[in-house]
Amino acid sequence: MKTFNATPRIIKIGSALGFIGGLLCIFCLAFFFEADESMLSRMGVYMLLAVMFFALAGGLSKGGQWTWNVLLLMTFLTISAVGCSVVFGIVDLYVAIILVVLGALIIISLVMPSSKIWANLAKA
């Protein structure tokens, strides 16, 4: 079986986008912080979104453990979590638009032929 060590550039870009999404969520967590008990849900959602974006960045790294199908599913789950948090009024609309665009760019990076080959061969 042929070994496949080279990581395509589009995968590295997708990983960087996931990292940027996680950092944006951490920034929003600090920016929207208020010492009030009613803010716990907002802080928790921003932490959840940060973890999901960092998980995407880790899944797209060289030692990532997920196959292509799991990466795509996790990206759609992250985008849907952003959408649900906007519907319930937890996340600011402009932040959510940026996060959805980052998620869509990660999906675009995943549907490239080289990324699908990399994800399935590197994890085999």
Cα 38–Cα 51–Cα 81 angle in degrees, nearest 5: 65
What's the whole-number mean pLDDT along residues 92-119? Answer: 91
| b/e code 72-87 from CB counts within 10 Å (16+ = b) | bebbeebbebbeebbe
Can you give the residue ranges of every domain in the chain?
A: 9-122
Examine the pLDDT at 122 and tell me if it is beyond 70. Answer: no
Over range 51-70, report the average pLDDT. 87
Q: State the pTM of this model.
A: 0.88
- The structure tokens listed for 93 are 């609309």
- What is the average pLDDT value for the chain, to the nearest integer? 88
Between CA 36 and CA 58 the distance in angstroms is 33
Q: What percent of the chain has pLDDT over 90?
A: 53
Q: What's the average model confidence in pLDDT over 64-84?
A: 91
Residue 4, helix vs strand vs coil: coil
> pLDDT per residue over 56-65, tens digit each?
999 888 777 7
